[in-house]
């Protein structure tokens, strides 16, 4: 039935102020107002239609993306949108495109690694989109190991130019988004060589295609690397391959904030740490954490609404069957994901603050918090993207068979999302970076250096090695200090165990390789502690709105106790809690799920997603699932004709032959 809210009875159950929760989710009333306005603008414009993506071939799909990108820019200019509004509008268009790399990596790379002069020259061109850029770092043979890149950039003092060359097949740039077909420029990473000396990897602005006819410039071979996972999905992006044959660029196109090459060919390092060459990755990893909360919340919104609509079993005395959301097993799979979406939102907010703080310090030549920023962005990017990818797939299963239909929105969401576990740093490689930071922190404890920031708890390592949880009854687990104590003790003990085992190796690098599984686990425990502690910190703030803070406390406890239960082996084997305390945590979880149940629809409504953005029949706001699923099936091109193409050609003769054989 059109116009009827099938979920109204669920919405009436909410025990909290949903509008106030919308503000908490968005970050502020202002952010909510802007995102609400931009999402409705996109949803109401048929030019941004996206329900046909799975049916389009690659060329059509790609052309469609280009049309939308150009149209989005036209609307941004016509409506005089601010940078904030424009960025929100692009995100609600919800289609991976070259613009993501232009705005998300090319512009930040210039901003972060360019000199004042370079910013003056390149930023206006990029900001007005008079040039389109991408981020060309990864090569066919080298991704994670950035120091292993092979592309050479050799200074020629005779002409005051750099000569860029791809010496081997494996040195071909491979993967950069936007590179394949659209970018006119790229920030290219290669080994800087002056006077025969290799100075390692640096970034350079390189023009790839003519601004007149868009053809590749001399010496450049460039194209798309081919279809990727899933129909539609990430195939709207032209991930590319690029080779250089002694391509010349002026010397001033080396990004020279970190180090520079003089007219005479002298390599000069500034006082800025060389790791700033990796700064763009730190920036993007930070944004990926907030994006994880968006992707997970979308999947959770779909699965929660559908779980309230879907009924199976339990019809008694003329009553309808039970809503599947009432099954405890459904709740135990769904509600921790709902809690994770909120947890990632808040840790993402905090990470944004940390990043901004590091940037402010860098301006004042204070580089002391850079290692912390690297470890936190790397670790949280890894933790949140792995959990979100797994969570989207779990949401598909939570929707039963219908979750497997493209019209559920979940297959495409998964296909678009899952490469986040790989890009911007493979998730295991990034956890190993966190482990290095942890091991370094522990090794410096003896020197009197006080650990700060997210590793501050290591300063209490002796106490944490001895501590015992004092939880005696299930409700004690609602006490934030009980939860924090257990998570800190587990993280500290896992790291200390690794450090002890490492010290048995005469060659520390050999030890690191041998113990890498344990180190990854220690890093994960540390990152989970960060998420739990930032959720708890968030709850110390003044949070207005009836019942809002109370529900967030419930979600925080669910996030923590779910992980305690999931990693019970860790908590028990490190002796942080007893098995009795572990089972009390599980008892408490059951009660917390019951508290979420009446509020579940309200909690996903607070994400404020339009039906256009969700792009899911199962997740429709009005819950009118079955008639719409039925209608949608008939729109499939296969149903355009009663008898499909190919039947007369292949199946009819086959049937006839089989019938003839049977008569013989």
Ligand X SMILES: Cc1cc2nc3c(=O)[nH]c(=O)nc-3n(C[C@H](O)[C@H](O)[C@H](O)COP(=O)(O)OP(=O)(O)OC[C@H]3O[C@@H](n4cnc5c(N)ncnc54)[C@H](O)[C@@H]3O)c2cc1C
Instruction: Please report, in range form, the residues annotated as the binding site.
Output: 138, 177
User: Stretches 20-28, 67-75, 418-426, 480-488: which one binds ligand LKMIAJQL (CB under 6 A)?
Assistant: 418-426
Q: Does 144 bind ligand X (CB under 6 A)?
A: yes
Spatial separation of the C-alpha atoms in residues 25 and 22, rounded to whole Å: 5
Going by DSSP bridges, is the β-strand pair 267-269/133-136 parallel, antiparallel, or unpaired? unpaired
| Cα gap 303→323, rounded to integer Å | 13
Residue 335 to residue 593: CA distance in whole angstroms: 7
Question: Alpha-carbon distance 249 to 312, whole Å?
Answer: 66
d(CA 491, CA 434) in angstroms, rounded, equals 12
What part of residues 495-524 is at the interface with ligand X (CB under 6 A)? 516
Question: What residues from 170 to 229 belong to the interface with ligand LKMIAJQL (CB under 6 A)?
Answer: 177
Radius of gyration of the chain (CA): 27
**Which of 203, 279, 419, 619 touches ligand X (CB under 6 A)?**
419
Q: Annotated binding residues for FAD, as ranges?
A: 138, 177
CA distance 508 to 606: 49
Q: Which of 11, 436, 460, 567 binds ligand LKMIAJQL (CB under 6 A)?
A: 436
Distances (CA, A) of 378 to 276, 327, 611, 636, 643: 15, 37, 33, 42, 53
Q: Give the integer Cα–Cα distance in Å for 395 and 198.
A: 50
CB of 370 to ligand LKMIAJQL, least distance (A): 5
Instruction: Select 383 or 464, whichever has its Cβ closest to ligand LKMIAJQL.
Output: 383
From the list 95, 412, 424, 553, which residue makes contact with ligand LKMIAJQL (rule: CB under 6 A)?
A: 424
Spatial CA neighbour of 296 closest among 8, 559, 84, 565: 559
Binder to ligand LKMIAJQL among 163, 281, 303, 551 (CB under 6 A)? Answer: 281
Phi, psi of 390 (to 5 degrees): -60, -40
Any idea which residue has 């081919």 for tokens?
Answer: 226
For ligand LKMIAJQL, the nearest residue by Cβ is 104
State both tokens at 381.
């990017």
Applying CB under 6 A, the span of 123-131, 423-431, 465-473, 533-541 interacting with ligand X comes to 423-431
Is 424 a catalytic site residue?
yes
DSSP code, position 188: E
Q: Which residues touch 455 (CB under 8 Å, ≥6 apart)?
A: 372, 437, 438, 441, 526
**Which residues in the 368-387 window bind ligand LKMIAJQL by CB under 6 A?**
370-371, 374
Contact in structure between 390 and 420 (CB atoms under 8 Å):
no
Residue 352 CA: distances (Å) to CA of 11, 32, 357, 619: 33, 18, 9, 30
By CB under 6 A, which span of 205-213, 421-429, 582-590, 600-608 interacts with ligand X?
421-429
CB of 611 to ligand LKMIAJQL, least distance (A): 24
Q: Which of residues 82-111 bind ligand LKMIAJQL (CB under 6 A)?
A: 87, 100-101, 103-104
239 touches ligand X by CB under 6 A? yes
Identified binder of ligand X from the candidate list 204, 423, 457, 621, rule CB under 6 A:
423
Q: Which is nearer to ligand X, 287 or 581 (CB)?
A: 287
Among residues 393, 394, 412, 424, the one annotated as catalytic is 424
- Cβ 531 to ligand X shortest distance, Å: 22
**Backbone φ, ψ for residue 273 (5° rounding):** -60, 145
Among 118, 287, 293, 616, binds ligand LKMIAJQL (CB under 6 A): 287
* C-alpha–C-alpha distance, residues 332 and 120, integer Å: 54
Lay out the site mask for ligand X across 43-82 (x = CB under 6 A, - = otherwise): ----------------------------------------
Q: What is d(CA 341, CA 302) in angstroms, rounded to the nearest whole number? A: 13
Q: Rule CB under 6 A: choose which of 369, 422, 550, 610 binds ligand X.
A: 422
Give DSSP secondary structure letters for 527-543.
Answer: HHHHHHHHHHHHTTS--
Binding-site partner at residue 374 among ligand X, ligand LKMIAJQL, none, CB < 5 to 8 Å by type: ligand LKMIAJQL
Q: Which of these, 134, 144, 115, 123, lies nearest to 426 by C-alpha position?
A: 144
* Residues near ligand LKMIAJQL (CB under 6 A), total: 27
Torsion of CA 637, 613, 49, 40, to 10 degrees: 150
Shortest separation between residue 436's beta carbon and ligand LKMIAJQL, angstroms: 6
How long, in residues, is the chain? 664
Site stretch for ligand LKMIAJQL (CB under 6 A), options 1-9, 421-429, 532-540, 638-646: 421-429
Find the binder of ligand LKMIAJQL among 114, 425, 511, 582 (CB under 6 A): 425
To 5 degrees, how large is the angle CA 470–CA 473–CA 475? 105
The binding track of 500-539 with respect to ligand LKMIAJQL, each residue x by CB under 6 A or -, is: ----------------------------------------
Q: Residue 554: helix, strand or coil by DSSP?
A: helix
Query: Is 429 an interacting residue with respect to ligand X (CB under 6 A)?
Result: yes
- Least distance (Å) between residue 70 CB and ligand LKMIAJQL: 18
Active site residues: 424
Residues that bind ligand X (CB under 6 A): 101, 135-138, 143-144, 175-177, 234, 239, 419, 422-423, 425-426, 428-429, 432, 516
Return residues touching ligand LKMIAJQL (CB under 6 A): 87, 100-101, 103-104, 135, 137-138, 144, 146-147, 177, 275, 278, 281-282, 284, 287, 370-371, 374, 423-425, 429, 433, 436
């Amino acid at each position: 039935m059109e116009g009827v809210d099938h979920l109204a009875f669920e919405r009436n159950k909410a025990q909290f102020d949903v509008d106030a929760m919308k503000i908490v989710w968005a970050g502020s009333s202002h952010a909510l107002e802007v995102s609400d306005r931009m999402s409705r603008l996109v949803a109401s414009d048929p030019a941004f239609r996206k329900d046909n993506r799975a049916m389009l071939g690659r060329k059509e799909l790609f052309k469609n993306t280009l049309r939308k990108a150009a149209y989005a820019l036209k609307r941004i200019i016509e409506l005089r949108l601010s940078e904030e509004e424009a960025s929100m509008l692009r995100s609600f268009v919800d289609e991976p495109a070259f613009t993501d790399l232009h705005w998300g990596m090319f512009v930040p790379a210039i901003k972060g690694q360019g000199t004042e002069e370079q910013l003056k020259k390149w930023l206006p061109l990029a900001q007005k989109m008079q040039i389109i850029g991408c981020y060309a770092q990864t090569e066919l043979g080298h991704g994670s190991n950035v120091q292993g890149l092979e592309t050479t950039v050799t200074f020629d003092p005779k002409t005051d130019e750099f000569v860029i060359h791809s010496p081997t097949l494996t040195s071909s740039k491979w993967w950069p988004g936007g590179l394949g077909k659209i970018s006119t420029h790229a920030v290219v990473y290669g080994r800087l060589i002056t006077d025969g000396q290799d100075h390692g990897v640096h970034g350079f602005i390189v023009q790839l295609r003519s601004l007149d006819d868009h053809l590749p410039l001399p010496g450049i071979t460039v194209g798309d690397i081919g279809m990727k996972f899933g129909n539609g999905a990430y195939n709207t992006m032209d991930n590319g391959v690029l080779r250089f044959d002694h391509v010349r660029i002026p010397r001033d196109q080396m990004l020279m904030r970190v180090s520079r090459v003089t007219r005479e060919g002298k390599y000069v390092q500034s006082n800025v740490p060389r790791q700033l060459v990796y700064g763009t990755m730190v920036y993007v990893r930070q944004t990926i954490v907030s994006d994880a909360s968006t992707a997970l919340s979308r999947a959770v919104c779909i699965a929660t609404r559908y779980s309230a609509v879907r009924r199976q079993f339990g019809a008694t005395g003329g009553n309808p069957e039970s809503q599947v959301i009432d099954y405890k097993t459904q709740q135990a799979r769904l509600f921790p994901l709902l809690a994770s979406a909120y947890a990632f939102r808040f840790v993402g907010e905090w990470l944004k603050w940390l990043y901004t703080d590091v940037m402010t310090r860098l301006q004042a030549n204070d580089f002391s918090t850079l290692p912390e920023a690297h470890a936190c962005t790397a670790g949280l990017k890894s933790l949140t993207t792995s959990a979100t990818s797994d969570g989207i797939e779990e949401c598909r299963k939570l929707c039963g068979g219908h979750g497997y239909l493209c019209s559920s929105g979940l297959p495409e969401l998964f296909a678009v999302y899952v490469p986040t576990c790989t890009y911007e740093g493979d998730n295991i490689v990034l956890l190993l970076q966190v482990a290095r930071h942890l091991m370094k922190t522990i090794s410096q404890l003896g020197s009197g250096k006080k650990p700060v920031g997210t590793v501050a708890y290591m300063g209490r390592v002796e106490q944490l090695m001895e501590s015992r949880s004092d939880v005696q009854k299930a409700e004690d687990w609602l006490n934030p200090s009980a939860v924090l104590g257990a998570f800190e003790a587990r993280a500290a003990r896992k790291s200390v165990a690794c450090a002890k085992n490492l010290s048995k190796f005469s060659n520390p690098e050999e030890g690191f390789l041998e113990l890498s599984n344990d180190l990854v686990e220690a890093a994960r425990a540390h990152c989970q502690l960060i998420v739990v502690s930032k959720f708890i910190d968030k709850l110390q703030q003044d949070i207005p709105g009836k019942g809002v803070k109370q529900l967030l406390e419930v979600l925080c406890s669910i996030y923590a106790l779910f992980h305690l239960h999931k990693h019970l082996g860790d908590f028990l084997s490190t002796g942080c809690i007893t098995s009795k305390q572990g089972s009390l945590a599980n008892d408490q979880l059951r009660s917390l799920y019951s508290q979420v149940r009446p509020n579940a629809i309200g909690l996903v409504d607070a994400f404020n997603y339009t039906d256009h953005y969700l792009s899911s029949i199962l997740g429709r706001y009005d819950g009118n699932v079955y008639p719409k699923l039925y209608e949608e099936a008939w729109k499939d091109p296969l149903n355009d004709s009663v008898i499909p193409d190919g039947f007369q050609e292949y199946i009819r003769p086959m049937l006839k032959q089989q019938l003839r054989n049977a008569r013989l």
